[in-house]
Amino acid sequence: DVKVTQSSRYLVKRTGEKVFLECVQDMDHENMFWYRQDPGLGLRLIYFSYDVKMKEKGDIPEGYSVSREKKERFSLILESASTNQTSMYLCASTRTSGGRGELFFGEGSRLTVL
Amino acid sequence: GDSVTQMEGPVTLSEEAFLTINCTYTATGYPSLFWYVQYPGEGLQLLLKATKADDKGSNKGFEATYRKETTSFHLEKGSVQVSDSAVYFCALFTGQAGTALIFGKGTTLSVSS
């Protein structure tokens, strides 16, 4: 069964802390994505990566960075967490050749910043 | 730029009622269109898709037809069940290099017995 696994379902952090959200996929997909989901705003793309060590900014990259050192792993980093980054974070992956719109999602990481 | 507009929710229905969730899009070229569903406490999963005009995607009793003339991809189901309660997202993908899937804001469906 194909799988996208996010390391933490729930996190509580304090303002100013550095936060790492990890995502691993076992489908050998080239493309990986980080979205943020907020009520009334839907899903907004933060960053995506189409290859190892490659990254592209999405619609709302400010305050975030990413790392893709291995094909299966895509990390989202909040350098200095702020309360407006309290949200649900969703990781997804897809292959490049055919079916690029067919994303496979993890279950999400709900982050609360106090 | 490219965008997706969905009807705002929440949509509240009784079991066995007919469902329509409207979705329209703006895009250059010929995008592929998708409906994703998010059940409570879970991530999103693909419900159905259509890759060209007049294609009909279907799955689990849901259907949507890619209408290029009206730039629409409305989701329908003839008889909803309580288990269909979820958030539904319409999305498009243009396939252009360096782009990602574009989602609508989502429509919450609540079905009561």
For residue A80, the number of C-alpha atoms closer than 13 Å in the C-beta half-sphere is 1
pLDDT for the residue B100: 80
Q: Do A68 and A53 contact (CB within 8 A), yes or no?
A: yes
Contacts of A108 in chain B (CB under 8 A): 42-43
Q: What is the band of A33 on the pLDDT scale with cuts at 50, 70, 90?
A: very high
* Smallest CA–CA distance from A98 into chain B, residue: B95
Percent of chain B with pLDDT over 90: 79
pLDDT for the residue B98: 63
Q: What is the mean pLDDT of residues B50-79?
A: 96
Type and span of the H or E element at B67: none
What count of other Cβ atoms lies within 10 Å of the Cβ of residue B92? 23
pLDDT for the residue A99: 61
Average model confidence (pLDDT) for chain B?
93
B67-110 pLDDT, tens digit per residue, is 999 999 999 999 999 999 999 999 998 877 667 888 999 999 99
pLDDT for the residue B94: 83
Residue with tokens 């705003």: A41
pLDDT for the residue A109: 96
Q: How far is A105 from chain B (nearest CA, A)?
A: 6
Nearest CA to B81 among B8, B10, B17, B12? B17
Any bridge partners for residue A10, and if so which?
Answer: A110
What is each CA distance from A82 to A15, A17, A18, A74, B77, in whole angstroms?
5, 8, 10, 21, 42
pLDDT for the residue A106: 95
Q: Do A89 and A109 contact (CB within 8 A), yes or no?
A: yes
B106 close contact with A: CB closer than 8 A = yes
Q: Do B5 and B91 contact (CB within 8 A), yes or no?
A: no
List the 29-68 stretch of B: residues with Cβ below 8 A of A.
Answer: 32, 34, 36, 41-46, 49
What count of other Cβ atoms lies within 10 Å of the Cβ of residue A98? 8
Any bridge partners for residue B18, and if so which?
Answer: none
Flag whether pLDDT at B6 surpasses 90: yes
Q: Do B92 and B34 contact (CB within 8 A), yes or no?
A: yes
A40-68 pLDDT, tens digit per residue, is 888 999 999 988 989 999 999 999 999 99
A67-102 pLDDT, tens digit per residue, is 999 999 999 999 999 999 999 999 999 887 656 678
